[in-house]
Amino acid sequence: MDDTHPLFAREGWPFLLIALLMAALMQWGLGPLWAFPFWLAVFFVLQFFRDPPRSVVGLGDGLRSVVSPADGRVVAIEECEDNYLNRRALKVSVFMNVFNVHSNRSPIDGEVRQVWRSPGKFVNAALDKASSENERCAMHLKGTDGQDVTCVQVAGLIARRILNYTEPGMKLARGQRYGFIRFGSRVDVYLPLDADVRVSLGDKVYAASTLLAEFSRVPHA
């Protein structure tokens, strides 16, 4: 999986080309006043699919750091059931609005053990029930030193497409880009109960560049 991306995400090129074509046709055929909304659409596509490079936080502390998998705002920190791995876990949820960068990045160094894709609804991703009712794609990561992390991409009110480029057996580095969600969504991260969460409700976080949590111990399993 190629993790090299320019400032504009490859997922956005079809939308950008269509928006540019429509804006140019309206400009040429009907004039700038009619074309103005289409140029606004071009601007929206450019800002939505921006994909800036990121510095990965915590690389100097061994394998303890868990980085944010997404840009956005922390909307949930709670102990709950991780139904994918049948365990109790700490869930940290990051909500992405349409103005956030929507590239998703691996929270830890590890191997993809399993990927689950679940159909569902498209309610507001900021709501708690989105984690269980919305369309989603979950990924089990086995940390290099044995930690289990479940990372779940959740569709939102406008989001209609979850892109996850991983498959079982794939190795991911902390902060490596692995997917994209189009037009507003959230990512839930399920951590071991003894993980030390480093963010608070309402915090603004950035994929790869914000320390989400730290493992309190390394199981070496």
How many other CB atoms sit within 10 Å of the CB of residue 34? 12
Q: In terms of pLDDT, which residue wins out, 59 or 135?
A: 135
Between the alpha carbon of residue 21 and those of residues 13, 36, 42, 179, the distances in Å are: 12, 13, 10, 27
* 220 pLDDT above the threshold of 60: no
Active site residue 118: no
**The pLDDT of residue 2 is above 50:** no
Question: By the 8 A CB rule, do 163 and 181 touch?
Answer: yes
Residue of 185, 200, 209, 216 marked active site: 185
Confidence of residue 158 (pLDDT cuts 50, 70, 90): low
In 3-state terms, the chain is what percent helix, strand and coil (to 5)? 20, 40, 45
pLDDT, tens only, 166-186: 999 999 999 999 998 877 688
Taking residues 27-46, report their average pLDDT: 88
Q: What is the DSSP letter of 184?
A: S
Amino acid at 220: H
Q: Which two tokens stand for residue 209?
A: 């560049």
pLDDT of amino acid 1: 45
Summarize pLDDT for 37-62 with one digit per residue, the tens: 999 999 988 888 888 888 898 776 66
Question: What pTM was computed for the model?
Answer: 0.85
